[in-house]
């Protein structure tokens, strides 16, 4: 886990979040920002899909500036791994998954405090080393002899989405490695260990200085929706509801859009 201080908001203050956070910075009046939420303090633990690492870290920094009394701890990993941790009793206040199917594992186990809300969408691309030395132009090229490919395991959302896209293309791809989450798959390209990896568009944006993103039509058949929910066993449910509200607010959506996510 790594730590960021943040500023969650009370669920009762949804209207305040939608207006006071519209710029993502807030204004200062009498020493308090207009996106600060009175009464929300303490530590907040958020488990989130690996593809949210950069966007949520930035949101965490915004929270710190607005509400220094709240400390947000993030744990980023594959959604299926996080869901298993939650159902096994791992302490957390909020879960943000990269697919409704993964979130359903937590909901069916009675671990969600309410109805999950979709806050973003993401689409697949093929990440290739800068300059695309293997000449990859689409999924068909990933099945060429000698082309080394990494993708996520089918159990995690990025792997399930890749499987859906391949089925839509009528292609059977045997990668040289199945990875535990999308960032691990992307790292194989960054390290030069593979010629391509099927990742989310947002991950290619993060690594734009090192990789190129190849769009492919079949990705439209496998767009992932990202749901978020406060957990039933939350030790800081007020802050949890506040965090969910902020992620869905204009300020949170602006951060996600900047990172390459699509709006829900």
Rounded to the nearest integer, the mean pLDDT of the chain is 87
- Please, which pLDDT band fits residue 8 given cuts at 50, 70 and 90? very low
Looking at the predicted structure, is the pLDDT value of residue 20 above 80?
no
Specify the pLDDT at position 142.
96
CATH number of the domain located at residue range(s) 2-121+226-258 in this protein: 3.40.190.10
Q: At what angle do helices 79-87 and 100-108 cross, to 10 degrees?
A: 0
Report the pLDDT value the prediction gives residue 36, as an integer from 0 to 100. 67
Does this chain's domain 2-121+226-258 share its CATH topology with 124-221? Answer: yes
Please tell me the predicted confidence (pLDDT) of residue 40. Answer: 78
DSSP state of 207: T
CATH code of the region 124-221: 3.40.190.10
What mean pLDDT do residues 148-153 have?
Answer: 97
Decide if 263 contacts 160 (C-beta within 8 A): no
Q: Identify the band that residue 175 occupies on the pLDDT scale cut at 50, 70 and 90.
A: very high
- Would you list the domain boundaries of the chain? 2-121+226-258, 124-221
Angle at 204 between CA 212 and CA 173, to 5 degrees: 80
Which is more confidently placed, 7 or 176? 176
At residue 207, does pLDDT exceed 70? yes
pLDDT of residue 32: 42
Q: How far apart are CA 224 and CA 187, in angstroms?
A: 21
Which pLDDT tens digit goes with each residue over 126-135?
999 999 999 9
């Amino acid at each position: 886990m790594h730590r960021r201080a943040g500023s969650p908001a009370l669920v009762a203050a949804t209207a305040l979040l939608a207006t006071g956070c519209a710029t993502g910075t807030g204004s200062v009046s009498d020493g308090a920002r207009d996106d600060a939420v009175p009464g929300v303090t303490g530590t907040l633990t958020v488990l989130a899909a690996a593809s949210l690492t950069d966007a949520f870290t930035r949101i965490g920094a915004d929270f710190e500036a607005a509400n220094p009394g709240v400390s947000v701890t993030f744990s980023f990993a594959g959604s299926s791994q996080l869901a298993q941790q939650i159902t096994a009793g791992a302490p957390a206040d909020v879960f943000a998954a990269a697919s409704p199917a993964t979130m359903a594992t937590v909901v069916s186990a009675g671990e969600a405090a309410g109805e999950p809300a979709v806050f973003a969408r993401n689409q697949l691309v093929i990440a290739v080393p800068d300059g695309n030395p293997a000449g990859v132009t689409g999924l068909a090229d990933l099945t060429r002899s000698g082309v080394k490919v990494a993708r996520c395991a089918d159990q995690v959302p990025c792997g399930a989405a890749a499987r859906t896209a391949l089925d839509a293309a009528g292609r059977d791809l045997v990668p040289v490695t199945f990875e535990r989450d999308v960032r691990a798959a992307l790292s194989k390209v960054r390290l030069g260990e593979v010629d391509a990896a099927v990742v989310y568009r947002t991950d290619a944006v993060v690594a734009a200085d090192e990789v190129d993103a190849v769009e492919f039509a079949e990705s439209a058949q496998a767009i992932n929706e990202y749901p978020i929910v406060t957990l039933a066993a939350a030790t800081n449910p007020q802050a949890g509801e506040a965090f969910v509200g902020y992620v869905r607010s204009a300020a949170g959506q602006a951060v996600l859009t900047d990172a390459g996510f699509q709006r829900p």
